[in-house]
Structure 1
Amino acid sequence: MNDKPKELMSLEKITKSYRSGEEELQVLKGIDLTVYEGEFVAIMGPSGSGKSTLMNIIGLLDRPTMGSYHLADNAIEELSEIDLAQVRNEEIGFVFQQFFLLSKLNALENVELPLIYAGVGARERRELAEQFLEKVELGERMYHMPSEMSGGQKQRVAIARALVNDPSIILADEPTGALDTKTSNQIMELLTQLNQEGKTIIMVTHEPEIADYATRKIVIRDGEITMDTTDSVRID
């Protein structure tokens, strides 16, 4: 019996450069990273380290300058923009610091949005959105507008929206950055529960106490991975 976890994503020799006039700024310098199903990974690093750039590449919001990236059996560098958008919608659920809920839609309608893009019918959309709002304990606030909800409630709506398409990965970019300590802990406990249920989570955070919820920590400095607790060693 093979109990080895399934490889979910693999990045090899990933670089990212930007041009400013005649100068080239290299933000990522040959990143190698493999993530397996069911991991809870925290990516840390100082401002300007490249962690947000790496997160954008993982989330298919940006393309690397060089290197290869495989996600759920897709060779990302070979995909068109249309194909990328489809893989992004099917495989990745996003949770951001600022929630990004549409102010004119209630909680239920916000959670339905990814299902609309996926072409799911109205009745099934409604049922799935209700199911996931119940999962994040917002069943009684389905018809509330974002302006009627606290920061923690809005982040729960965002998590329900991220989950509703049953993606392979939840990408959480500073998910507690706009929340107080008590609410931050509640959101992290929810993400921990989702991970324990089998969901793969990759999170960017600059807060060590938030990173402690993850089972694997990666530190990036100057565009390179300098520590990965999977290896239990510092990379020089």
Structure 2
Amino acid sequence: MADKKILMQLEGITKSFKNGDQELQVLKGIDLVVEEGEFLAIMGPSGSGKSTLMNIIGLLDRPTSGTYILSGKEVDDLSENQLAHLRNEEIGFVFQQFFLLSKLTAQQNVELPLIYAGVGVSKRKQLAQQFLEKVELTERMKHLPSELSGGQKQRVAIARALVNSPSIILADEPTGALDTKTGEQIMELLTQLNQEGSTIIMVTHEPEIADYARRKIVIRDGEITLDTTDSVRID
């Protein structure tokens, strides 16, 4: 069987922040490879660096040092415009708080990444409807976010994340604002999408949510201390 394609590779990634005259090192040399079709959960206590790592993976922040290759492109020296283009092309985001625009319908919210990508009106409407159907929201596509439940809002966010056919879906605490039953439904949907071929990287602090993933890494004090790919604790 052919080797899977490497979608993302981080080598020696560090991130430091200035705090007055002191420097706080949040990430301390992260090495991580993610292949096509993986479902990866990033876990760790508050302050461990997992959110900082997610921001770097999502091209929302730059590392202090190290190399990051995404879909064969080394992103370290790209301009902000180039990063924005790559982000829209390669990454779909699902956030805890949904981040839907309140004055746009579900369909219009899903269309947004396609507008940024320059897709024509007819095609983007067709794609938005197609992906809302995929997340079982056909009957709610003309509704505003205020008219949707929390679970329905997250399904809109997932459709928006999928509509550009990105290489990777980044899900940051995707069930954090949902009740237990609705959270389980969202995780079942993400699991289904992964089984259909989507690559998913998820940040969560909930072990029962992380259990949906097929691979887990644990970050403590800015370092990966466990990666279930090889089940070896890193001392």
**TM-score range normalised by the length of the shorter chain:** over 0.9
The match for 2:166 is 167
Query: Which amino acid is the alignment partner of residue 197 of structure 1?
Result: E
What is the DSSP-based 3-state SS (H/G/I as helix, E as strand, rest coil) of the residue aligned with 2:81? Answer: helix
Secondary structure class of the residue paired with 1:176: coil
Q: Which residue of 2 aligns with 1:101?
A: 100
**SS of residue matched to 2:76:** helix
5+ unaligned residues in a row in structure 1: which ranges? none
Alpha-carbon distance in structure 1 between the residues aligned to 2:225 and 2:72: 27
Pairing of 1:104-143 with structure 2 (within 5 A): 104-143=103-142
Determine whether 1:217 maps to 2:198: no
**Structure 2, unaligned stretches of length 5 or more?**
none
Q: How many residue pairs are counted as aligned between the two chains?
A: 235
Give how far 1:4 is off: 1.3
**1:21 and 2:25 are equivalent in the alignment:** no
CA distance in 2, matches of 1:132, 1:28: 36
Deviations along 1:160-185, one digit per CA (max 9) or x if unpaired, are 00000000000000000000010000
| Deviation beyond 6 Å, 4+ runs, structure 1 | none
For 2:102 and 2:180, locate their aligned partners in 1 and report how far apart those are by CA, in whole Å. 25
Residue in 2 aligned with 1:12?
11
TM-score, reference length from structure 1? 0.99
| Separation in 2, partners of 1:43, 1:225 | 10
Q: Residue 41 of structure 2 aligns to a residue in which SS?
A: strand
Note the C-alpha offset of 1:45: 0.2
Distance 1:86 1:3 in 2: 30
1:34 maps to 33
Name the amino acid aligned to 1:44: M
Q: Distance in 2 between matches of 1:67 and 1:190?
A: 34
Q: 2: distance between equivalents of 1:56 and 1:193?
A: 25
- The equivalent of 1:84 in structure 2 is 83
1:98 shift after superposition:
0.1
Quote how far apart the aligned CAs of 1:105 are. Answer: 0.3
Q: What is the aligned-residue identity percentage?
A: 80
